[in-house]
Amino acid sequence: MSLVDPALDPFSLADPTQRADCGHESGDHLCISVDSWWADLNYYLSAIPFLAMVDSGIMGISSDNVTFLPPSKDQMNFCYNVSSCYSSFPDTMKKWNKFYQQVKSYSRNFDDLLNYLWVAHVSSLKVVHEKFHSRLQHYSKQEAEFESSRALFVDYLAPPLFPSALIRTYGLQRGLPTQMLVSGNKAPFISDFTGFQNTVLLGVNFLHKVYKYTGK
């Protein structure tokens, strides 16, 4: 199962404030900026699930043996080991742990597992929305809208238990932008996007507008 956002454009992980060259061609293009909304999103969709998996015992290693290094700033926005994640985000850690316990039990059918998976995934997304919403101000209006729209779209995928196996997820990702959106990009008229990408972007943004004005 693959739910981590792939950050298709490598510059989505770069410093959006332009105050540093982290992730940009002028600097270390492998650098991941702590100021990147996409990087922060992927941290919470990978680090917390991984630490919860360690805590569940499914990997057979002690939670005391796993600690991530903190970023150079904003250290309080993240957690780095099982105990600190439980202290900062107990509800999300419990939901991920519960999912892994169901995986270990071998007694649940696939739909049941999907339910636990999506509950945990949405919980991680909620943390990102609450902690990093201010990051969106560093992006173009179009990119910030897409980031919010895509997060909302995931909320709509959860109730029907979209099967997030790798092949299905890959097929869905093909419709997503492969580059950061800039001023002037307006779906379905973005020339270097495929027709499918233009259509998906238009639909996702429309969904966000409907939610914004109706709350549904």
Q: What amino acid is encoded at 68 in this protein? A: F
According to the model, what pLDDT value does residue 208 have?
81
pLDDT tens digit string along 110-119?
888 888 999 9
Assign 64 to helix, strand or coil: helix
Task: Name which residue leads in pLDDT, 150 or 85.
Answer: 85
pLDDT tens digit string along 8-57?
566 788 999 988 889 888 888 889 999 999 999 999 999 999 999 999 99
Radius of gyration of the chain from its Cα atoms, rounded to whole angstroms: 18
Q: What percent of the chain has pLDDT over 70?
A: 90
According to the model, what pLDDT value does residue 49 have?
95
Q: Which of 31-45, 118-132, 148-162 has the lowest mean pLDDT?
A: 148-162
Q: What are the structural domain ranges in the chain? A: 1-136, 139-215
- Angle 122-124-126 from CA coordinates, rounded to 5°: 70
Taking the alpha carbons at both ends of the chain, their separation in whole angstroms is 28
Q: Which of 88-92, 141-145, 146-150 has the lowest mean pLDDT?
A: 146-150
- Angle 45-50-56 from CA coordinates, rounded to 5°: 130
pLDDT-derived band at 2, boundaries 50, 70, 90: very low
According to the model, what pLDDT value does residue 40 have?
93
According to the model, what pLDDT value does residue 148 have?
85
Residue 90: Cβ within 10 Å count: 10
The stretch 65-74 carries a mean pLDDT of: 93
According to the model, what pLDDT value does residue 10 have?
64
pLDDT-derived band at 160, boundaries 50, 70, 90: low
Mean pLDDT (the chain) is 86
Q: Per the structure block, which two tokens stand in for 105? A: 């039990």
